[in-house]
Structure formats: structure tokens, C-alpha cells
């Protein structure tokens, strides 16, 4: 292989850490420069070595591996849970307020019904008292009216 022509597609794909299909798409999209050269089975793509070396350097510079800090992770989880719990507490408080209002309305309705019933009983007692206070006549005097 002539080193001036660049790397074959398979080697370049391995260097980039992608599949050959992905590298072909990148070439068609213009993201990676490539040359078509004569190969044993027809024309094939060759990627300039400088492009591969530059890409590897960029990947090495960009790739930053930081271990997860348990303290930061705990704070993030705590913060997320706190937001969820605050929202739930707000909804529960709204529901509790609504239930209290409904209960107050029901108690007021019950109080009014009890007042009406007490008034009815009072009137019935008055009528009964009036009936008891009337002088009783014998039953046969009823016919003699």
C-alpha cells in the first residue's frame, strides 16, 4: 500500500472508533475529506493520515473521564427529590384545603337541618300541649252537637 494515498476505509474507521458505514456517511456529508483511488477491486476511499491523527488528538483532548463524586451525586438526588416532595406537598395542601371547605359546608348543612328539626319538634310539642290543655268531653257529647 502506498502511504501517500492515506489509510483505507477499514483502518480509518477503527481509528475513529466508528463503523465503515458511518465513515462513508461522514465522507458523503463532507465531514471527513477522502480521496478515491484505484484498489484491487475498483475504486476505494482513502483517508489522509493527517485527518486521522488530528481527529485522534482532538478525541484525546476532549475525552475527560471524571469519576462520579458521591457527594455531588447525593446532592443532585436530594435536590430532585426535594422538588418532587415540595410539589406533592403543595398538591396535598390544596386537596386538604378543599376537603376542609367541603367538610365545613356539610357541617353547616347538618346544623341547619338540626335547627329545622328542633323547630319542628317545638311546634309539635306546642300542638300536643294545646291538645292536652283542652277540656275533654265525653264521647257521647260529640254526637249531640
Domain positions in the chain: 3-62, 73-132
* DSSP for residue 95: H
Which of 30, 58, 33 is CA-nearest to residue 47?
33
Low-confidence winner among 5-9, 91-95, 133-137 (lowest mean pLDDT) = 133-137
CA distances from 121 to 113, 114, 118, 127 (A): 12, 10, 5, 10
**What's the predicted TM-score (pTM) here?**
0.39
Please give the Cα distance from 36 to 29 (Å, whole number). Answer: 15
Give the three-class secondary structure for 106. helix
Answer whether residue 1 shows pLDDT above 50: no
Q: What integer is the mean pLDDT of 86-93?
A: 95
pLDDT at 56: 66
CA 96, CA 17: separation in Å to the nearest integer? Answer: 58
What sign does the dihedral 74-80-81-82 (CA atoms) show?
A: positive
Residue 125: pLDDT band (50, 70, 90) is very high
Q: What is the mean pLDDT of residues 11-38?
A: 89
- Going through the chain in order, the beta strands assigned E by DSSP cover 7-8, 35-39, 42-47
pLDDT digits (tens, 9 = 90+) for 45-60: 898 888 887 776 655 5
Task: Please check the confidence at residue 79 and state whether its pLDDT lies above 60.
Answer: yes
Mean pLDDT of the chain: 85
| % the chain with pLDDT above 70 | 86
Alpha-carbon span 58 to 50, nearest angstrom: 12
Fold held by 3-62: Multidrug-efflux Transporter Regulator; Chain: A; Domain 2 (1.10.1660)
| Separation of alpha carbons 78 and 40, rounded Å | 62
The more confidently predicted of residues 82 and 137 is 82
pLDDT at residue 94, rounded to an integer = 97
Q: At what angle do helices 20-29 and 9-16 cross, to 10 degrees?
A: 100
Amino acid at each position: 500500500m502506498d502511504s501517500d494515498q492515506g489509510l483505507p476505509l477499514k483502518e480509518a474507521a477503527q481509528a475513529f472508533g466508528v463503523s465503515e458505514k458511518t465513515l462513508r456517511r461522514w465522507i458523503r456529508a463532507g465531514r471527513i475529506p477522502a480521496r478515491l483511488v484505484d484498489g484491487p477491486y475498483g475504486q476505494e476511499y482513502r483517508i489522509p493520515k493527517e485527518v486521522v491523527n488530528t481527529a485522534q488528538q482532538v478525541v484525546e483532548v476532549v475525552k475527560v473521564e471524571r469519576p462520579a463524586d458521591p457527594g455531588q451525586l447525593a446532592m443532585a438526588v436530594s435536590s430532585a427529590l426535594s422538588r418532587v416532595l415540595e410539589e406533592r406537598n403543595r398538591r396535598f395542601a390544596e386537596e386538604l384545603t378543599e376537603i376542609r371547605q367541603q367538610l365545613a359546608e356539610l357541617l353547616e348543612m347538618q346544623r341547619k337541618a338540626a335547627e329545622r328539626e328542633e323547630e319542628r319538634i317545638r311546634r309539635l310539642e306546642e300542638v300536643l300541649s294545646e291538645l292536652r290543655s283542652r277540656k275533654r268531653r265525653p264521647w257521647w257529647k260529640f254526637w249531640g252537637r
